[in-house]
Homo-oligomer: A and B are copies of this chain.
């Protein structure tokens, strides 16, 4: 009964994926809509996921030599005009402060949509000599991009992210940094989020405004669409020249630095939902799940049941597991549904009969399997199961995705491929017209170059292919 009620509340994942997404993010209290159009409140359950993401990423950034800092939210409008492509890309999306302290400002200020310009202005002051290089700084911050169509986590006018900004003496070092951080993202996406990603270079059209080259990592959602889960940019000397970031090199010559930038955002929470979720709701990988194990007592008023549950909880906590004992007044069935919807990886069910026989039932959210485990060894078994869930979720996502990568030789093939919910690999001559035509006719965009693959001809014009590109409809 209760179960059906729950399932009814969430739209059919097969029939209406967008509504399923909205139902899941709202009903699980990950997020709510803010009073200003396009804004969101990240509620405690959603923010706990973000905190786990931050912790894992931050450790990786520090291990690779980066330090955190905090740069101002407000950037003088004229900073954007210093890099021609950059202003073109970001000016239309900027939110502008014109009044403050009861007065009109002499110069309007932009709320940062990204911070290359303000980092650039400070780097030009801080960097004097080759001894000052490299500069490897990251910041965790809010940014704002005014979007017409918004969806919680995926596209909101304000979102949280991290942005790394680095400066180097040579092109090689900056390129190495760009690829290193792309690698950090990939390892993180796969081992922490359990989401397999395809990394590669972006086309000129899809690259970051102001970059020489952008590398992205693309993740497949359950509807076959792609989500750009992170990007790493080699900026060459574009911002160094725009902001005059120069250093005296060992050879006594003044040179411009080379810079990189890279970022991931709260979009990753959207990726988690759409890469793993099912009809019952969320399925969270253990490493980012706010609650890894929920203990649901059966016949909890019977003597000894809650005591035993509390004891198991204490043992799991001691082992570092994030565990909740749900001793509320709702029925076990209601609790099952609630915590399944919230995507908790493991559920331990404990009632009088289990206790008598020295066992507990453990339910796996990812596989929906239920199995009996001996109470005396439950901590080790839970730890082992959490590891397995983490690993198996990645593997399952990889199998799902790999079964949905197809090849196409022409526009019709690309269209039927993406309509079937696939990533489509196709040859591309490299010209903007063909890229635009694919988008117009199929609503798919070039995600990244498929590295190491060599198509012969362009799927649009039939000329010699320069690249094999992964095309997909995208969030």
Copies in the complex: 2
A92 contact set on B, CB distance < 8 A = 101-102
Q: Are B122 and A41 in contact (CB under 8 A)?
A: yes
A381 contact set on B, CB distance < 8 A = none
A14 to chain B, nearest CB (A): 31
A48 to chain B, nearest CB (A): 7
A118 contact set on B, CB distance < 8 A = 34-35
Determine the residue in chain B with the shortest Cβ distance to A91.
B102
Instruction: Assess whether A326 is interfacial by the CB under 8 Å rule.
Output: no
Number of interface residues of A (CB under 8 A): 56
Which residue in B32, B39, B99, B148 is a CB contact (below 8 Å) of A95? B99
Contact with B along A82-108 (1 / 0, CB 8 A): 000000000111111111111000001
Contact with B along A219-258 (1 / 0, CB 8 A): 0000000000000000000000000000000000000000
Determine the residue in chain B with the shortest Cβ distance to A102.
B92
Q: Are A41 and B68 in contact (CB under 8 A)?
A: no
A210 to chain B, nearest CB (A): 18
Instruction: Assess whether A430 is interfacial by the CB under 8 Å rule.
Output: no
> In the complex the two chains form, what is the Cα distance from A158 to B34 in whole Å?
22
A330 to chain B, nearest CB (A): 11
Contact with B along A24-62 (1 / 0, CB 8 A): 000000001011100111111011101100000000000
**A–B Cβ pairs within 8 angstroms, 22 of them:** A32-B125, A34-B72, A35-B72, A36-B72, A36-B76, A36-B109, A39-B73, A41-B122, A42-B70, A44-B68, A44-B137, A48-B67, A50-B70, A72-B158, A73-B158, A74-B144, A92-B102, A94-B100, A94-B101, A96-B98, A97-B97, A142-B142
